[in-house]
Structure 1
Amino acid sequence: MNIISLSGASGTGKSTAALAYAYSHRIDAIIDDGLLIMNGKKRAGTSAKFEKSALKAVRRAIISDDAHRDELCEAIDEEHIESLMIIGTSDNMTSKIAERLHLTIQQRIYIEDINSEAEIKLARFMRKNEGQHTMPLPMQQIEQNFFKRLMRRGAEIFSPKREKIGETTIVHPDFHDDFTQISTKDMMEAFKEVIEQKKRLTVKKMQFKLLPLPALEVQVVLKMSSQMELMTTPNAIEEAQKTLIECFSQLYDLQFGTLAMKVVDIEFVEE
């Protein structure tokens, strides 16, 4: 059996990236947080995210319980798996999991090999500021009574041919309390203030989306004193875009996927 290790720090998007990577590299199954996942669905095991404390979650993830280990080993043997990806926060962790399952890792890859810097920053933002953990399973496969505060459908994962190959679910485990929720309303107000500091622009409408990568569309009203100033409109918009990108990066350490600014009206004012 070919065993691949995928390592990356906590909250860098490993669970989501693994589904697409496994499909494109013809990897039969994934071990993630104590679960054996095949074809985007649970085959065996219990998720570490069901645990009540961080210590118990770690022990579950490294499969320290013998009954848990035996369940996974039996399922791996029954499915005649030829290639398996083990996901962990470090090489040491994936090695421990492989040892518990009587497997030997032949290849090691890292989240930086799969995800872009922007995708990793977004995943970290979601973990730190929203307390969100991603499970690479459809929502209907997760027992809802495990999660008291947050559980919703995540992203659908598609192949390059637009075939659906998996689905994620967003959960907030009981053991993750150290996060700060950021209000989207407050974020938008901050962006509006930044744009209107340019004096010639006022915000008409803003639309913000965090996933799959931060995207912002801003409709603005351009103020000018004469028709001649129309020639400088592109410069005013470009300057506002650059300022907004800098503000976003400083506040949240994120990169925009798209940032569109549109002039929807022009007002002539006396200076």
Structure 2
Amino acid sequence: MDVIALIGPSGSGKSHRALAVARDYAAEAIIDDGLLIQGSRILAGVSAKEQPTRVGAIKTALFNDPERAREVRECLATINPRRVLVISTSREMTLRICERLGMPRPSRWVDISEIATPKEIYRARQIRQQLGKHVIPAPTVEVKPRFNGPLIEPLRTFLRRRQAPPGKSRNLWVEQTTVRPTFNSLGHFYISQGVIAQLAGYLVATGGLSSSRVQVENRDGSLVLNLEVTAPYGVFLPPLLQAAQKRVMTNITNMTALEVVAVNITVSGLKLEGKET
């Protein structure tokens, strides 16, 4: 078994580029944050991003739990990959992972700065610090049954590979998942329901609706927004309301880092030019 190591600071975009790097080096499996991934499937392990604390996440990524390490070792023996890509924050961490999983030392070290520009790394760190978002290099259908964090979003990314096999394009589409773990750099913060209501009212107004009432429900840390609006007369309403729902959900999630699970919009009146009915 040959091992390739991809290293770089936390939040610098390693997991985001993992699938492209794996294909560049013909790696048949990936070890990333406690998971063993092959192709589009998570075969074994537990995601470090699912842990409630940063310390717990580090222990999981290092396979400190003997049972989890044994599970991944056995799975590696079964699939017997010729080459494995190991993702970590440092050489020391990589060597500890390889030792615990019974893998040889890496034959090649790839630094994130070799495959991403300073601008791309800066943008990745901004997303991590401001939104607390992390990437798992596996499709959402694989991640969702295993992850209990407050955010799970599909991510389809267009990447340019450094090299490609003869006859194949350097451009690569990869399917990944964005998550927000319980632990993240945002820490603990509170946003009043009044602020959320004002944001929702403003966002529906940008699409031609006007809100008369906004109710915010907190359901175990997730938000449900109920809006009563006045809509313009003579306009086909379904696409207008659907666009407003998406706009409210997406923008409030991105601006506040809170999970909005539903946006319910009720039309309570119609507005003619200059007056309401």
1:91 aligns with 2:83: no
Match of 1:229 in 2: none
By how many angstroms is 1:2 displaced? 0.8
Q: Is the 8 A contact 1:40 1:165 kept in 2?
A: no
Match of 2:274 in 1: none
Given residue 90 of structure 1, which amino acid in structure 2 is its aligned partner?
S
Whole-Å Cα distance in 1 between the matches of residues 35 and 134 of structure 2? 15
1:37 alignment partner, SS class: strand
Whole-Å Cα distance in 2 between the matches of residues 59 and 168 of structure 1? 23
Q: Is the 8 A contact 1:11 1:127 kept in 2?
A: yes
Whole-Å Cα distance in 1 between the matches of residues 173 and 40 of structure 2? 6
Match of 2:253 in 1: none
Whole-Å Cα distance in 2 between the matches of residues 111 and 122 of structure 1? 13
Match of 2:183 in 1: 175
Whole-Å Cα distance in 2 between the matches of residues 51 and 5 of structure 1? 24
Match of 1:143 in 2: 144
Q: Is the 8 A contact 2:7 2:111 kept in 1?
A: yes
1:126 aligns with 2:127: yes
1:43 aligns with 2:51: no
Whole-Å Cα distance in 1 between the matches of residues 144 and 154 of structure 2? 13
Whole-Å Cα distance in 2 between the matches of residues 117 and 36 of structure 1? 29
Residue-by-residue CA offset, 1:224-267 (whole Å, 9 max, x unaligned): xxxxxxxxxxxxxxxxxxxxxxxxxxxxxxxxxxxxxxxxxxxx
Whole-Å Cα distance in 2 between the matches of residues 32 and 145 of structure 1? 15
- Residues 80-119 of structure 1 mapped to structure 2, 5 A cutoff: 80-105=80-105, 106-119=107-120
1:142 alignment partner, SS class: helix
Percentage of identical aligned residues:
33
Whole-Å Cα distance in 1 between the matches of residues 20 and 141 of structure 2? 20
Q: Is the 8 A contact 1:5 1:87 kept in 2?
A: yes
1:64 aligns with 2:64: yes
Whole-Å Cα distance in 2 between the matches of residues 163 and 144 of structure 1? 30
Whole-Å Cα distance in 2 between the matches of residues 163 and 90 of structure 1? 28
Match of 2:156 in 1: 155
2:77 alignment partner, SS class: helix
1:143 alignment partner, SS class: helix
By how many angstroms is 1:155 displaced? 2.4
1:12 alignment partner, SS class: coil
Q: Is the 8 A contact 2:3 2:103 kept in 1?
A: yes
Whole-Å Cα distance in 2 between the matches of residues 149 and 62 of structure 1? 24
By how many angstroms is 1:137 displaced? 1.0
Aligned pair count?
181
By how many angstroms is 1:156 displaced? 3.6
Given residue 108 of structure 1, which amino acid in structure 2 is its aligned partner?
W
Gapped regions of structure 1 (runs ≥ 5): 181-185, 187-271
1:57 alignment partner, SS class: helix
By how many angstroms is 1:161 displaced? 2.9
1:64 alignment partner, SS class: coil
Q: Is the 8 A contact 1:19 1:165 kept in 2?
A: no
Q: Is the 8 A contact 1:147 1:172 kept in 2?
A: no
1:63 alignment partner, SS class: coil
Match of 1:198 in 2: none
Whole-Å Cα distance in 2 between the matches of residues 38 and 144 of structure 1? 17
Whole-Å Cα distance in 1 between the matches of residues 146 and 94 of structure 2? 29
Given residue 78 of structure 2, which amino acid in structure 1 is its aligned partner?
E
Given residue 78 of structure 1, which amino acid in structure 2 is its aligned partner?
T
Whole-Å Cα distance in 2 between the matches of residues 28 and 5 of structure 1? 13
Normalised TM-score (structure 1): 0.62
Gapped regions of structure 2 (runs ≥ 5): 162-167, 190-198, 200-277
1:122 alignment partner, SS class: helix
2:31 alignment partner, SS class: strand
Whole-Å Cα distance in 1 between the matches of residues 173 and 76 of structure 2? 20
Whole-Å Cα distance in 2 between the matches of residues 40 and 164 of structure 1? 15
Residue-by-residue CA offset, 1:53-104 (whole Å, 9 max, x unaligned): 1111110000011111111111111112110111101111111100101222
Residue-by-residue CA offset, 1:151-170 (whole Å, 9 max, x unaligned): 21112456763886641111
Normalised TM-score (structure 2): 0.60
